[in-house]
Structure 1
């Protein structure tokens, strides 16, 4: 047989099959009345798989009604998935009448490839003198319902009083119903002449007491049947290809009712899995048209789909995946690098270009934060020791990203934060308030240069700096007990520390300033000595801080001309008028601190009627022999009266208007240390401590006041109460 003949025969067979399929489709009814008839069901020969699936469409009543096969089981609905058929069956009954007659209606159901669903149907029995049995080939089940009146019945309840219900086994293909009465309804005939028993779809029947009398008016009940295309397993069915029901793009699965196998379309396909016709069988589902699955491009495949991104986009294209994203960052970076290479005319090798760029960037930050100035300070002063260089991340971690709760205080040059290093070391970090301000940066670098030279126990030690930020950060040792101002201000601390402690703090502070003036490698003028810049550690040891305004004085000069800078009330009046800064400017500021220690008053008080400036007010009272009126009552006592007088005279010398009349800080420190030594080792013992000098210091004590004796505890309590009373009255 030639090739041409073979091709013609194949084409003829294809045409014949296509014509047959077309004829089959054309002559098979898809509906009977309002019930759809899907294959393997059919209404005529050639339209169903086998006679078990015959649906008889009866139009004798004027409206088409479908019945299963050629019987009287009316079909209400057919579905392929799930494989179910809803049918209508008669409600059997057994009725007794007063004249002694009896009327019964029996019910028998016989199925082949169908089974009554045991999960979606129930067996109901209704009556007050009723028992009924549901009997099959290999099973029997029953239910009893009795009652004597309507009193104990509840509508909607089938618990055995007037109505009872039960279930039955799986895969029942046929059954007989048997109904009986114990006493022929003799005692309940008035309200229940009949017994009823029927299988019905779960939820289709809701018992009421009216059903006892007229349930026979309900002739039928819906029953849900399971069906299978054949009573074989999938494994056996596949062995016989000629009878295998599952067509192209479908798969076989076992019936949940245990009565055979069924077919369904594979995932990505829809249609009737029992047909091979392309219009009716399992055909591809166009997911791209029915669902939003892709972010940009969707490609329908046979039984599936795939997503993609347009050229230039990145991602898998799936909505629930990475989607499609335009690589703005990569393109921007590429353009930036290309432009940078082009305009800077650097080497074409990226590594070389990267190294040069990073070097310039590091140099720019270094110069911006005063690194060059810091180098000049270090080289010019012969300072070789290096402080630690902290990274920005280290200081952020130490301060919880500079959280507000870590702020210790705010000063003229910036904000101070508390930090905790990984080794649990506490540090203080000064951060500029105005980033990028040249003056702020200059003050920070100045403080770095000054503190780098100082090694004194009463000067706050600098630990390092950070130059990676917009403004440099300075790192100090942490001093944990606040400032001197916090302890002597009666508004902040009612119970201040003793005079002995105040004197020691004054002596330590004086030694630190004297060291700056006389013993540092280059003399240093602090320029902002005040009680708020004297910190106290846990042992109340004094620590001089805040060197942002300090100035180095060349060895061949005694004073420098600068822009006036300091704090109101502590500012040297001579420096204020001449702008000539020298060591005596710090002496004046320290003298004001001594006055604060003696009086506990504010340096500038606008509500003070006599004199707003504390130093001037203090000097005027001393000239009038009224010193007692301003001294802090919390430290005034017999045993320190002479010492208070000496410190008061020293403070008055320090705050003289003319700088040349003030003592040097070295002299001040020596005098204070001498007073402390006298306190520890008095020259004269046993004498009356209240000498003429003490009386001169106190001047004339007003009536009603007296100085407490150290040997009289009652007097001590009295003077403390009087002092508290005077503080409350504004004295």
Structure 2
């Protein structure tokens, strides 16, 4: 999948701009422009280098680029290669939206006895940034740990890869088996990475562990490019640029002579200083004088609409203000006069305007068969058996034969007419019925806030825009919402399995709601999901508003919900291992942390529960159901709302005050952690037969020292006491009554990540001491894919682990201030 093909996000068009480079680079400014040129003035400039197309403000040669945007084309290679100035940063693709692709690729060759490797990449000039929204750091190879920092040494994240003594996989996703990745949370201007071989791995044969390939890459390419990755051009990173001759739009606009944005374009402040330009409508170049044309859809009144015998339709026009824009303005001039030749008629001022006259249709002296010729006609006598009819001016048969033929024609005509009439009635009836259906669907579209939704998603890029499906398309995909296509039913509606025309399998949510407040919640869910692109958040393809109740179209998630796995059949012992429960909790926490802090605006889910945590075919976590979610502006810390949520998960502070904060989701997530530990429902029936809150039951048990008695038997079998105490301490922190005393979702995610890493390290220690351990298998499980993650985790070791000692353990304790 290309960058232009699959990005949902809702970003403004940003045209990338280079900062003023140091004197040693070719972008020092010599020959660079500091005014707005026209496309005609740049016609002599090179438009491409090899396979890469070039657009202004970038350019090659004096007068072809804006100051700070000079490029260099190396013709010594085949095909030629494009670079930023005289730097070593190569450009492999330029997008109209202002991003460029540049390989940030490292091939780390294994050496005998070598365990540590350091790699780094820094932007060649101020104003160039690595986009945090679209880039991910990947490392491909076997048995190593990676720690990633920004260019000033601040930690970004870590990951590890294990191959369990096997060779690098030939295909598959990046899931810690032969490959691992680290996501960025914000734009950076460079990075440093430390790669550490796991203990003893450096001494193994290079044929088994041939080396490590590391790359900062556009994750939209990486997700769809199969392992192993060996070609840097296949996985380039995504860079964005800013004009740095002024620090902001306001300062730049004070000097119109050097201001970079053309008429009808807008200016935006870049994250690292400087500014960028973009057009409000359409894909245009805001750095050219004609880059953002002003289209006038309404001409002034009383415009001249003809030139001679020729009509002039809008958007063309002859006078000022009478055309769509100046490019459609025409000029009408007079001189000599033209006439059609004899035997022709029509308009002599246009191409093929004079057409031949058919003299045989006009009165003439022909008493026989008339044959038209260009500019004239021919006349031949009537054939035998026919005579010339002077009134009708044609050859006709005799009266008897004419009457016979007339009767036959009348009979045939009546029969054919009856058929045509019947078909016409059917066609008109169908059109009338379709017209009524169309009007009804349009009325539902307006009632269901379709016009509002169109406005909410109008700012999204054309490639990632949320689609508004027609009801006809969804009827076809679900076989008219057949009962055999039902995936599940609930209090709010029914979910159907559908197959779209492009063969995508989707889940279609058909709500029961009819009240306006719930319709507004539906529109809210669409607007929020259209802004979110995250591997652990269910992807929204679009919606349909032409039915009485709205419909949502999601990606199809095959393995149901966490609630079903935990509570549907409690007699099955091992549907989820302890390793799977830790991983699911970590992935869900990461998705919620992304919603709270890494999304374009903070988003509070407001209905976090196990039934809204879906699992795909590889048991990867997907957060769903954003109908109750709320988004905040950047300067808000909370919102006051009508209390919504699910009993058993509802934050008591939110319930009493009505103030929704990010800590409300933390409390609900704490209840999910208790579910994973105890395998009890959030509201359950206790031994006395009374209904009881799971969160209060757990807190009371902790205070009374009866933690072990509350835990699921499988947790007691697979988890050690230190892990149980660690997760119980974290759960207790999440369930504190006062929101200010709870950790953030980011802190919860990191605490779970360290806990899971510590467990994997212990597994590796046992493996090294005992010569191998048996994985925890679940013979009772019915799903053939359920052991995938169990086997993976059982044989994976921790990053750079030496002597089985955890530096991360001390770091986590100091970071969160919680007892271990």
TM-score (structure 2 length as normaliser): 0.40
| Bigger share in helix | 1
What is the TM-score when the length of structure 1 is the normalising length?
0.44
Q: Does 1 or 2 have the higher relative contact order (CA < 8 Å, sep 6+)?
A: 2
